[in-house]
Amino acid sequence: MTRGTIKAWYLVHKWTSLICTAFLLMLCVTGLPLIFHEEIDGWLDPPAPLAPLPATTPALSLDTILARAAAQAPGDIPLYLSFDDHQPIVYVTTGPTPDAVPAAMHFLALDARTGAMLPPHVDGVMDFILKLHTDMLLGFWAEIFLGFMGLLFFAAIVSGVVLYAPFMAKLDFGTLRRNRSTRLGWLDRHNLLGIVTLVWASVVGLTGTINTLVVPITGIWKANGLAAIIASEARTPLGAQRASVQAALDAVQREAPDMTPQFIAFPGVVFSSKHHYAVFLRGTTPLTAKLLLPGFVDAATGRLDAVTPMPWYMQAMLLAQPLHFGDYGGMAMKIVWAVFDALTIVVLGSGLYLWLRRRGGPSEQRVREVVMAGEA
């Protein structure tokens, strides 16, 4: 590799790293507790005990559940209905309009067997950390900005790998020169840990970027896949009286009896059309539980219009979020994710330290440092 090529890659690594490091440090620090968000939430805010009923107690009709939720939020309309993965609990989200902002929504939890209202969720420290992690408390465009930082991080990783080859040409892999200067020792640690965390950091950086694009990706899906479904049938105008939500779920489940319901999106919200109940089913294995199959039921007539797999880009988005937080392999995978997260914090911090303690002079000296394995 020529000096000119090394210099170009060095400048890419330098500037992509400098621009994104502060934000990546924030994301890694806030992401560490979010890996264990379920366990921390269960400790800080344990779920309310449910009525001790036999395991065979049947669930109420979803229409009954919705009627009880409506009584708690008069004037609202249902937006989403979701199902707890571990307990017989149904969550109902309501709001004044289908496009209501989260601050205007009401979030209700009901016992699926009795319809009893459960204590409302109160935002706590983990909700604050999640909001800080996703958009720095600044909304949609801040979320998009963090996605761009994720792309810069990936560029920094790629350029760092390219520079690692000439740097290590004069050294054995994993060499830590402890008997030399402090800066040289941290340079060796930075390079070694950067290679060790290479795959993990790439996966988490790219899935994090994908997670920031939920709104535009879903918009593409609605403009393409849903458009054909919406246009395929004449529509009966939606009025106050709508088709049974329970019947809609039953109709979709008959098409995929081996799957279980994940959530139902009501007409007008992000994951549905203006005319449909969108019923999302999930698989029952650790992998297929993250992949959703939607069915669309006309909310005016109750007619099942389609049960169709989501396109690859929507499936990629659905897989990205749990993969980003290591939510696939139970506690063992979460611990691995936490270890790599901590190592990445060291990589980012050491890179910042190396820049602050840089030797004076133009970038040509940095290039010579790469060629001479830090001896320049």
String of DSSP letters for 224-249: IIIHHHHHTS--PPP-SS---HHHHH
Q: How far apart are CA 299 and CA 274, in angstroms?
A: 9
Q: How is 72-112 classified by DSSP, letter by letter? A: HSTT-EEEEEEE-SSSSEEEEEEESSTT--GGG-EEEEEET
For residue 227, give the amino acid letter. Answer: A
Tokens 């008069």 correspond to what residue? Answer: 74
pLDDT at 367: 58
Give the per-residue pLDDT at 122: 78
53/362 Cα distance (integer angstroms): 74
Quote the CA–CA distance of 200 and 27 in Å, as a whole number: 14
Per-residue pLDDT of the chain (376 residues; tens, 9 = 90+): 677 787 888 888 888 998 999 999 999 999 999 999 988 988 888 777 888 888 889 999 999 999 999 999 888 999 999 999 888 999 999 999 998 988 889 999 999 999 999 988 778 889 999 999 999 999 889 999 999 999 999 999 998 888 877 666 666 666 666 666 777 778 778 888 888 899 999 999 999 999 999 889 988 888 887 777 776 555 667 777 889 999 999 999 999 999 999 999 999 998 888 889 999 999 888 777 888 999 999 999 999 999 988 888 988 888 888 889 887 768 888 999 999 999 999 999 988 888 887 655 555 555 555 555 544 4
How many CA atoms are closer than 13 Å to the CA of 323, on its beta-carbon side?
22
Contacts of residue 217, defined as CB under 8 A and 6 or more positions apart, other chains included, come to 210, 313, 314, 317
Tokens 């017989």 -> residue? 88
Note the pLDDT of residue 128: 92
| All residues at 6 or more sequence positions from 16 whose CB lies less than 8 Å from its CB, including other chains | 152, 153, 155, 156, 159
Distance of CA 30 to the CA centre of its chain: 14
Supply the pLDDT for residue 376.
42
Phi and psi (nearest 5°) for 311? -65, 165
Give the tokens for residue 10. Answer: 């060095």
Instruction: Write out the DSSP string of 128-178.
Output: HHHHHHHHTTS-HHHHHHHHHHHHHHHHHHHHHHHHHHHHGGGS-TT---T
| Residues sharing a CB contact under 8 Å with residue 151, sequence separation 6 or more, in sequence order | 205, 209
pLDDT of residue 364: 55
Q: Please name the amino acid found at residue 195.
A: I
69: DSSP letter: H
Alpha-carbon distance values, 167 to 171, 254, 343 (Å): 8, 60, 21
Residues 6+ apart with CB under 8 A from 117: 68, 72, 108, 109, 110
pLDDT score, position 63? 96
The pTM of this model reads 0.81
pLDDT reported for residue 255: 95
Tell me the HSE value of 304 on the side-chain side, using a 13 A CA sphere: 16
Distance CA 354, CA 5 (A): 22
138: which residues sit within 8 A by CB, 6+ positions away? none
